[in-house]
Amino acid sequence: MKTALISVYNKTGIVEFAQGLLKRGFGKLISSGGTAATLKKAGIPVTDVADISGLSPILGHRVVTLVPQIHGGLLATEEQRAELEELGYPWIDLACVDFYPLIEEIRRPGATRESVIEKTDIGGPTMVRSAIKGRRIVIVESTDRSRVLEWLDAGEPDSDEFKNNLAAKAEGIVADYCFASARFHSGGKIDGTIGYEVAPCKYGENAWQTPAGLFARYGADDPLALQNFKLVAGDALSYNNWCDIDRMLQTITHIAAGFEQNLNLRPFIALAVKHGNPCGAAVSFFPYLPSVATQKAIEGDTLAIFGGSVMTTFEIGDDQAKELIHHKMPEGQKRILDVVVAPSFTAEAIEILSRKHGKCRLVVNSHLAKLTEQDLDQKRRLRFVRGGFLKQPNYTFVLQFSDFEKAEETESEISLQTKCDLLLAWAVGSTSNSNTITLVKDGMLIGNGVGQQDRVGAAQLAIERARRSTHDIKGAVAYSDSFFPFPDGPEVLADAGIKTILASSGSRNDGLIKETCRKCDVALYFVPDVKCRGFFGH
């Protein structure tokens, strides 16, 4: 007769699971407290832990299962069965245990040290670790209950491997649980991350970097977490594909947040990147079709987008699919794309975009169609360095027009189109590798000078890219991700026809920058560098 220990905080589905065990040869169920009461109420025979140990719960129910009768039943080896029987302790074959909601309490606004301590489970993780060491069937996540029942029905195939995988998963969950407590009580002085592989990659950034894969954090509830993006066509996503999707999310969520907070608008957004940096970006509004955004994103830099990745906030239909591969291409030729990410694709679009050998990956996440300012990634960012890691809050700054300091007096009011262009330029430039100068005109990225060692070089690169794509720069806006140390940068932009510049203040030459823009008839807007500097991906 097999014995199962069931002790759960979340009682949802536990009655059905217990009934499933009874039907599959488990003749004895052990439980305590609320779980025992729930099972008894459902008419399921259950033995209370107190009846086995001979000890009632003590210290306000803080000590219930921390008894040798339970842990001996979980830890004993086959060689120790006789000793266990001599002691009169039950051999426990399965442990289904979850924990007090410690992590939820930590996340709760107003959580205190005392409230977190009260939600810190000791018995649960201890039983799980005993079951792990005893190589029992151990279940922590409720989603694994049905898997275990199916495995029992199948005759327990590959028993050692199946139990080991459950044990490894349980160890990870316990580790994450304890890690959350350490992080909270240390005020963040102890930190790190624990995850589980959700998508193995053939290799990393280069073919010789193996093994590689995408890992998800335990308990992640973000609809835009990468594990929630589903491949609907094409080959498995590579390490670099996942990196590009992550970078595109930074940019597209900042575009959405900027327009919502400043203009209360939710535009159609199309974004194209190459090696993580935007080479095309555009917004369009009702009653214009999403195709306007698609076309403008392509036209931003038709050379760079070749072999790149695309993300949109709207469904890709057959019209948009045709534009992605044919718009601005020579007759009879197709544009090659590596990844296209959208809320959804029509069947026709999938057929149009699919490439030989699955080389164009089509990925969906329905949440992209309803982005708001709440979708900025608030999770801290860790960057591994030799011997450890660096930690910082994520980049969540959103530009506000109310923070603008007009650097030179004018009676003209900033137009809606200019506001839209400035928001797009800021969102693109501040999520590109610094140093960056970004040019936007008529709701469309026309030049992105990224990753330069000097700011005037970034300006020159942005202009060169715009001209290479035959864009008319006259009247465009420019965004700089930090202040101009010298007037040469604004002079280069003004000479090219730029009429509006957004930068941060903080240079000792701010006065000279203002005077230069005034002489060049360029509207200059400042936001303090300490507030709006947009360095990213250093």
Residues 28 and 173 in one domain: yes
Same domain flag for 368 and 426:
no
Q: Are residues 97 and 39 in the same domain?
A: yes
Q: Can you give the pLDDT at residue 249?
A: 98
Q: Which domain holds residue 448?
A: 399-532
Per-residue pLDDT at 410: 46
Instruction: Kindly state whether residues 7 and 148 are assigned to the same domain.
Output: yes
Does 248 lie in the same domain as 360?
yes
From 372, 407, 438, give the residue that closes a domain: 372
- Residue ending a domain, among 320, 337, 372, is 372
- DSSP β-bridge partners for residue 20: none
Q: Is residue 199 part of a domain?
A: no
Query: Is 311 inside any structural domain?
Result: yes
Domain harbouring 252, CATH code: 3.40.140.20
Sheet order of strands, 405-406 included? 405-406, 523-528, 500-505, 477-480, 437-440, 445-449
Q: Does residue 132 lie within any of the structural domains?
A: yes
Q: Which of 354, 372, 390 is where one domain is finished?
A: 372
> CA-CA distance, 220 to 200, in Å (whole number)?
19
Q: Do 179 and 279 fall within a single domain?
A: no
Residue 381 lies in a domain: no
CATH of the domain at 28: 3.40.50.1380
Give pLDDT < 50 ranges for the chain.
409-411
Q: Which pLDDT tens digit goes with each residue over 406-465?
A: 665 444 678 999 999 999 999 999 999 999 999 999 999 999 999 999 999 999 999 999
Contact (CB, 8 A) for 69 and 50: no
Q: Is residue 390 part of a domain?
A: no
What is the rounded distance in angstroms from the CA atom of residue 273 to the CA atom of residue 258?
19
Residues 355 and 471 in one domain: no
Q: Does 537 fall in a domain?
A: no
Do 327 and 409 lie in a common domain?
no
- State the pLDDT at residue 537: 86
Give yes or no: residues 17 and 91 share one domain: yes
DSSP 3-state of 56? coil
Has residue 208 been placed in a domain? Answer: no
Q: Report how many domains make up the chain.
A: 3
Beta bridge partners of 5: 30, 95
**Does the pTM of the predicted model rise above 0.85?**
yes
Q: Is residue 286 part of a domain?
A: yes
User: Are 260 and 159 found together in one domain?
Assistant: no
| Same domain for 309 and 162 | no
Q: How many CA atoms lie within 13 A of 118 on its CB side?
A: 7
Q: Is there a single domain that holds both residue 9 and residue 136?
A: yes
